[in-house]
Structure 1
Amino acid sequence: MVSVAACGLPRSGPNKNEIFEGSVLNGGDAFVVTVTPSVTRATAVQPSFGFSSSFLKAGVMAQDIISPGDTVSVTVFENVKDDPLLGNTGQRVSNLQTLQVDGQGFVFVPYAGRIKAAGQTAEGLRDAITRKLDPQTPDPQVVVQRASGLGSTVTVNGQVAGQGNYAIEAPTRTLTAMIARAGGVTIPQAVAVVHVTRGNRTEKVWLADLYTNPRLDIALRPGDTVTIEQDTRAFVALGATGTQSRVPFQTQTLSALEAIATVGGLNSNIADPTGVFILRNEPEELANAVLGRNDLQGDQRFVYVLDLTQPTGMFEARDFLIRDGDTLYVTEAPFTQWSKTIGAITGSANQAANLASTASGN
């Protein structure tokens, strides 16, 4: 028996007593804390996504606002027959097709010169061209039409059916409309995060929140980039669980009970339901809040303990939230090591008997 104990039996990790021995109270480097309602409240911190006021207050773009990169068509009707300014003799209508708005927001119109177009409506640009031409040809009648160009587009990429550049048009002037225009998302809505980059700022929201809260359906601006990504948060499951692996989050919030269920529950043959642990590094502020202190500095190692056999144990596991990077560890029940020991002894004895039988038979 001594030799069996000395050789060390295989197991999935430390047992419950060994974890408690690593507590700060015993000279270790981790705070071992039993989960209670107050602990659950103090640790219920989840990533908060949302748009800033500058994004939320941006009004819906007028459909015909001209931007750098757009193209406009200009048609001029002149009230002269013999010597029109823009056309040939007898030609009263001149079509100036596909004038490109340059990077500085200007277009060049013959005899009118460079005119500021960006930021104007088609009507505003029409008035500006008319004022420039009027001294040179009597009472010109000008028609301006805007066609969406590179300056009035939004880039949509990531986990969408159709990545690409899409024009901001009447049906696609808001975020949800543009996502729909790109064919919708290709990942589950519950784990989809929407990033919007405008200038040098990037902000994000949960796709599910975007669809349930109309206020988050912000107006788009030329040059915006919309990126759909899958939530990258995950936890690690170890010990006497149904599986041992790195497990991605499947919802915005994940309780300890849901995490256990996600990995197939506890292994009923070997798990100790009194020894369910969540290991994490807590930031200074939360560490002090959990322990009711104010002297801790820097990140602190915490081991949270759940006892599922207690009357409220399942409720505590249901309310305690798992965070990105957590480790869920379930210890083996004490009888498991005892069973392994008996098996080792029995196996050793059987092996010895077989050897003895073989020897006597020779």
Structure 2
Amino acid sequence: MACTDDFSCTDEKLSRNWRRAIRTCSTLLLSAGLAACSSLGSSGPSGSAVRSGNSMSVSTDIHVVELTDTVARQLIVAEQGRTFADALGEVPPAGTRIGRGDVLDFAIWESPPAALFGVLGGEAGLSKGPALAPRATSLLEQMVTEDGRVTLPFAGTLNVAGRTPQQVAREVEARLVGKAHEPQVIVRVTQPVTAMVTVVGDVAASTRLPLTAKGERLLDALASAGGVKQPVGKMTLRITRGAKVVSLPLDRVLLDPRQNITLQAGDIITALYQPYSFTALGAVRNNAEVPFEGTGLSLAQGLGRIGGLDDNRASIRGVFVFRFENPATLGPLLPTNARLTPDGRLPVIYRLNMSDPGSFFVAQGFALSDKDVVYVSNAPLTDIQKFIGILSQTSFSIVGVANQVR
């Protein structure tokens, strides 16, 4: 209907212009919003971006591994090989072997008439009884030389390094046959310089423990240092034996008697205060750094400690564990020609599909490691829901402004 005056015509023109402007703004907003859904606020990369393993900020290869029962079993086997019992094993007691620098005491007994060493011993003879009683002579203590030898009167030079005191005593007796009358020899290690272990780190008092034929074990050495100063659940023990370095939580040693191994000469035991933790990010109920005990924590337990997944945002197919993995742990899963980090690690992302009921059993068998990052991506429709919410609010605002203008 045509307008009848200037005011009504002007009002109708303004209404048409506003409606046209609203339609134009809505169309532009919808187009821009649909094109920029991926730029909406998010707590991390999408599930598809993580699964691709592509990154512009990491120069090494990122390996994405589907977390299945087979993979979980492979990791368990690899972890077992890094225990003290498996990596170092049991050794004979170190105190039974003579080393370079050790100080030895030789006691030589002769049946009467004891002439050879009786004269040498003089008043120093150990026997003060009748003349016909066997006499024992203690020679001056002998230090094993750098080439592993000692020299005795009438017995000459003997190679003793690496042998037991009993073996050395039998050789001395054999060399004295025909020189001394029915000689019998006892050899003792009075100063076991080489048969020692060192205990350092977060202990009450760093110490060096001499090893004996008893066969001192790991916890014996720890007790000799006065024990640890921090809570047991946050302590890690590291044993350095030659080129081998193996670490294990103290809790594991206390709970598994096999890990309380017999020590070897030269072992270095370091007690480290090392609280374990993992970081939870993404669509979970609680984004935080979560501490856990040295005895270990499964992925299922870790998800439970952060309150589980956020039902409103989380993708049950997008549970990821980011880890710098030891290549030896992956075994056949290790990709060929993989580029490693400078410290010899491989960035690995383990993906768990929790839409499969069996994944909960896999999560119970997959152990989290210190400094792991557990990330849960948003569900694919989450960004669309965010955009619809923004669009709805914007549309209501525009309509409200238009109503006020009219």
TM score, norm. by length of structure 2: 0.57
- CA distance 1:338–1:59, change in 2 (3 Å): same
CA distance in 2, matches of 1:41, 1:139: 69
Does the 8 Å CA contact 1:20/1:32 hold for their aligned counterparts? no
Q: Secondary structure at the match of 2:120?
A: coil
Does the 8 Å CA contact 1:107/1:117 hold for their aligned counterparts? yes
Q: Secondary structure at the match of 1:238?
A: strand
Query: Could you list the per-position Cα deviations for residues 321-353 of structure 1 after superposition, in whole angstroms to 9, with x for gaps in the alignment?
Result: 54667532234573984698489969x99xx9x
Question: What amino acid maps onto 1:58 in structure 2?
Answer: V
CA RMSD of aligned residues (A): 5.4
Question: What amino acid maps onto 2:351 in structure 1?
Answer: Y
CA distance in 1, matches of 2:41, 2:161: 73
> Are 1:329 and 2:360 an aligned pair?
no
- CA distance 1:187–1:83, change in 2 (3 Å): closer
- CA distance 1:33–1:84, change in 2 (3 Å): closer
Match of residue 19 from structure 1: 47
CA distance in 1, matches of 2:114, 2:223: 50
How do residues 344-355 of structure 1 correspond to structure 2 at under 5 angstroms? Answer: none
Match of residue 221 from structure 2: 178
Aligned with 2:99 (options 40, 58, 67): 67
> Are 1:107 and 2:135 an aligned pair?
no
CA distance in 2, matches of 1:301, 1:64: 47
Q: Secondary structure at the match of 2:150?
A: strand
Aligned with 2:303 (options 236, 260, 265): 260
Does the 8 Å CA contact 1:80/1:92 hold for their aligned counterparts? no
Does the 8 Å CA contact 1:191/1:249 hold for their aligned counterparts? no
TM score, norm. by length of structure 1: 0.62
Give the deviation of 1:196 after TM superposition: 5.0
Give the deviation of 1:318 after TM superposition: 4.3
Give the deviation of 1:219 after TM superposition: 3.3
CA distance in 1, matches of 2:51, 2:169: 77
Q: Secondary structure at the match of 1:277?
A: strand
Query: Could you list the per-position Cα deviations for residues 115-168 of structure 1 after superposition, in whole angstroms to 9, with x for gaps in the alignment?
Result: 333344444444444555666666666554322421111223445444332111
Match of residue 358 from structure 1: none
CA distance in 1, matches of 2:253, 2:264: 18
Does the 8 Å CA contact 1:210/1:217 hold for their aligned counterparts? yes
Does the 8 Å CA contact 2:105/2:140 hold for their aligned counterparts? yes
Q: Secondary structure at the match of 2:71?
A: helix
Match of residue 263 from structure 2: 220
CA distance in 1, matches of 2:86, 2:64: 41
Higher Rg of the two aligned structures: 2
How do residues 48-63 of structure 1 correspond to structure 2 at under 5 angstroms? Answer: 48=80, 49-50=82-83, 56=89, 58-60=91-93
> Are 1:45 and 2:92 an aligned pair?
no
Question: What amino acid maps onto 1:329 in structure 2?
Answer: Y
Does the 8 Å CA contact 1:68/1:102 hold for their aligned counterparts? yes
Give the deviation of 1:184 after TM superposition: 4.0
CA distance in 2, matches of 1:271, 1:188: 39
How do residues 113-192 of structure 1 correspond to structure 2 at under 5 angstroms? Answer: 113-130=156-173, 132=175, 143-185=186-228, 186=230, 188-189=232-233, 192=236
CA distance in 2, matches of 1:80, 1:303: 79
> Are 1:86 and 2:105 an aligned pair?
no
Match of residue 291 from structure 1: none
Question: What amino acid maps onto 2:206 in structure 1?
Answer: Q
- CA distance 1:142–1:32, change in 2 (3 Å): closer
How do residues 251-290 of structure 1 correspond to structure 2 at under 5 angstroms? Answer: 251=294, 253-262=296-305, 264-265=306-307, 271-272=313-314, 274=316, 276-280=318-322, 285-286=332-333
Does the 8 Å CA contact 1:256/1:321 hold for their aligned counterparts? yes
Identity %: 23
Question: What amino acid maps onto 1:221 in structure 2?
Answer: Q
The alignment of Structure 1 onto Structure 2 pairs a total of residues equal to 329
CA distance in 2, matches of 1:144, 1:287: 55
Query: Could you list the per-position Cα deviations for residues 191-249 of structure 1 after superposition, in whole angstroms to 9, with x for gaps in the alignment?
Result: 7355351x44455666555445545544333223344557798654322442345x666
Give the deviation of 1:72 after TM superposition: 1.9
Match of residue 359 from structure 1: none
Deviates more, 1:107-116 or 1:4-13: 4-13
Aligned with 1:304 (options 351, 355, 361): 351
What stretches of structure 2 of length at least 5 have no aligned partner?
A: 1-25, 53-60, 127-136, 340-346, 402-406
Match of residue 14 from structure 2: none
